[in-house]
Chain A
Amino acid sequence: MSGSDRISIEQGAGGRAMRALIEEVFLGLASPVDGIGLTALDDGAAIRVGDRWLVITTDSHVVKPIFFPGGDIGRLAVCGTVNDLAMMGATEPIGLTCAAVIEEGFSRAELLRIRDSMKAACEEAGAPIVTGDTKVMGRGELDGIVLNTAGVALAPRVVSDAGLRPGDRIIVTGTVGDHGLAVLSRRHELKLEGDLCSDVAPLNGLVRVALAAGGDGLVAMKDPTRGGLASALHEMAHKAGVGIVLEEAAVPVTPEVRAAGELLGIDPLNVANEGKAVIGVRAEVAERVLQAIQAHPLGRRAAIVGTAGTERPGSVILDTGVGRRLLSEPVGELLPRIC
């Protein structure tokens, strides 16, 4: 985005600026694969192995504060990777890795708490951690702790984030904005917390029931993490060459998130989620998939929020009920270091 010779914080924030950085720098590492590789900029890679797909993903976590309402960096690290696999259609993780880089002086009790939280999340997801790596850096050389997890899984079919066609319906599996606003309010001690609580959770079980209900009619998936629902929808619209009309009134938002967003001038559509999926389905299976998701404990507030169409390919049109406008794509730094 910027012509500067230094990396800016917004280039890591999940929006347009980050995509530009990745395209400029890291796509240089890409080489052809039989399947979905680096150039697809998807949630992970999928490589054909016989009649199945090997799905691989990796994710680093740098959240501040490390402990927040509803979770902590350990739960986030496990769920982030399990969810990236699930978004490719791989709901049975074979194994995860865990690499920890820890700052000298970090509390041993907190480290154990993070370990226990990872263990609990792994049990929820049915995903074992099978290898790891540990480094300690000097005081001040990093801020607390960085966790990296990678994951592998085999899948019979791969779902990309580029599969939308005009007429497809868009499902969101629950309320949006919870994670980002919970972290933000704790970080800045805004005392807004009330019931603000991160949604961080492993989604592979929910995706499993959605895939079973939708079959080949489930055509696109993405988890709306950094940049929120707005960013995820822009990416899906852009990659598939469709326009998406989003019905604002249909998007589930808790009253707490709505109130905190209005107070802070932050649109919940732009705020990160860590336990939600955006799922594109053919119209004829939409209701069936929705009902299956709603029957899952993590999907009770799922809703059909929009439709893919031919108007304005690559854009997201927000229907406010009383008017329409283009939904802008978050450029960069709304809330740094939230996942």
Chain B
Amino acid sequence: MPAPDATGQLKFRDPGRARALSAALDRLADRVGRPVTLMHVCGSHEQAIARFGLRAALPRSVDLLMGPGCPVCVTDLPEIDEAVALALQGKVVATYGDMLRVPGTRQSLGDAQAEGARVEVVYGVEQAIALAGRCADQVVFFASGFETTAVTTAAAVLAGLPENLSILSAHKYVPPAMEIVAQIPQSKVEGFLAAGHAAAITGWGLFEPFAARHRLPVVVAGFEPLDILAALLRLLELVAEQRAEVVNLYPRCVTREGNRNALATLWKVFEATGGRWRGIAEIPDGNLRLRPEWAGIDARRRFQIDVSHLQRAGVAPLTDQCICGAIMSGLATPADCPLFGGACTPDSPVGACMVSSEGTCRIWQHYGGRPDIGKVG
């Protein structure tokens, strides 16, 4: 073992072990003898894969795609439109920085801000609560994120919000989205890498019915380079052996039943309802909305928001060429998009995947995609 450096994380970044895993993946891929497509569903996984150049450590015959793993990216136009409408009504809209630049039908929150609407960037619900405490006006927390983040919103709601604070929930629930991707007829995905932090909440047992129903293996993985390589090796083994099982390779954080307290908190405040995920499909149970008993703090019930006129107005130019949906469904990569890196860049994004630091396009733009370069020496 090398001595840990200042980052203190070398145990999970050890080059020797990474090379051994990479070599094992090569041997297994040779045995499989055909192309295999695997999918992960998490922006944090894509960050690590791209940052550490892990695709160059994979066999040529293994394609690793990112699925719908970016909550900002799947926030649909009407949800942005609702937040913009509230901001233009004079409410103070508090939200995560990435949400400002996600295009709505006509405007983003950033555009509304430039026109004088009050939009505040916060790093979490606690800051929105603090903002409401300092502010005489109505404040709306435009909440995005998967179940991991939704739990924090739910806990704040249960603890009691200031009277002038409401929640506009764009929270999403990942498991149903995996169902949709698995059901796409032209999908080549043969196995899923599940996000360790989401599974820490939901428990890995949640994936067992999924694996059985779709005859697809699932491996729960952590976020360090060796976590990911080890999980991919296990996943490829399961594919090779045609075993549709769920394996937890992140036992230092994830249990079978998950965090029961967190789940109880989540479902006391939210319910899963159907809704569109941008570019992908109508996802049954994919949206987390406040339960009816929380109507008093639900911005959708507390305030009048009508954005139907916008939906009839049609989408902005270029948006119809954006293939974010196909990318998040695993049917395309950014390299297939006519806009990628040209008309669509982080400075002037067309699709939400180029806005969010967890979006595939933004990450590929920053780190390069799967360049044709040789393996680690």
Residues of A within 8 A of B (CB): 245, 249, 255, 258-259, 265, 311-312, 317-326, 328
Contacts and interface: CB of A to CB of B under 8 A. Distances in A.
Contact of B376 (A255, A258, A322): A322
A290 to B, nearest CB: 20
Contact of B377 (A258, A319, A320, A322): A319
A250 to B, nearest CB: 12
B374 A323 contact: no
Contacts of B373: 311-312, 317, 324-326
Given A258-B6, A311-B374, A312-B373, A322 B52 contact: yes
Interface stretch (B145-153, B263-271, B363-371): B363-371
Nearest to B375: A324
A268 to B, nearest CB: 12
Nearest to B19: A322
Contact of A328 (B7, B14, B57, B368): B368
Contacts of A322: 13-15, 18, 52-54, 57, 225-226, 229, 376
A324 B366 contact: no
A324 B57 contact: yes
Given A311-B374, A317-B373, A323 B225 contact: yes
Interface in B25-49: none
B367 A323 contact: no
Contacts of B80: none
A320 B53 contact: yes
B54 A258 contact: no
Nearest to A8: B347
B18 A321 contact: yes
Nearest to A333: B347
Nearest to A320: B52
A326 B374 CA distance: 11
B161 interface: no
B57 A323 contact: yes
B299 interface: no
B229 A325 contact: no
B88 interface: no
B13 A325 contact: no
B6 A318 contact: no
A335 to B, nearest CB: 16
B6 A255 contact: yes
22 contacts: A245-B377, A255-B6, A317-B373, A319-B53, A319-B376, A319-B377, A320-B51, A320-B53, A322-B13, A322-B18, A322-B52, A322-B376, A323-B18, A323-B55, A323-B376, A325-B51, A325-B367, A325-B368, A325-B373, A326-B368, A328-B366, A328-B367
Interface of B: 6-7, 13-15, 18, 50-57, 225-226, 229, 357, 366-368, 371, 373-377
Contacts of B14: 322
* Chain A CB within 10 Å, residue with most, of B18, B54, B373: B373
B229 to A, nearest CB: 7
Q: Which 10 A-B pairs have the closest CB atoms?
A: A325-B53, A323-B53, A322-B18, A255-B6, A321-B15, A322-B225, A324-B56, A326-B368, A323-B54, A323-B57
B209 to A, nearest CB: 34
Contacts of A324: 53, 56-57, 373-376
Contacts of A312: 371, 373
A258 B7 CA distance: 8
A324 B50 CA distance: 9
Contacts of B15: 249, 321-322
Contacts of A323: 18, 52-57, 225, 376
Nearest to A243: B373
A312 B57 CA distance: 17
B286 to A, nearest CB: 29
Q: Which one of B18, B56, B366 has the highest number of Cβ atoms from chain A below 10 Å of its Cβ?
A: B56
Contacts of B374: 311, 324
A325 B50 contact: yes
Contacts of A249: 15
Given A321-B376, A324-B53, 16 more contacts: A258-B6, A317-B373, A320-B52, A320-B53, A321-B18, A322-B15, A322-B57, A323-B54, A323-B57, A324-B375, A324-B376, A325-B50, A325-B52, A325-B367, A326-B367, A326-B368
B56 A325 contact: yes
A324 B371 CA distance: 9
A326 to B, nearest CB: 4
A10 to B, nearest CB: 9
A249 to B, nearest CB: 8
Contacts of B225: 320, 322-323
A159 to B, nearest CB: 29
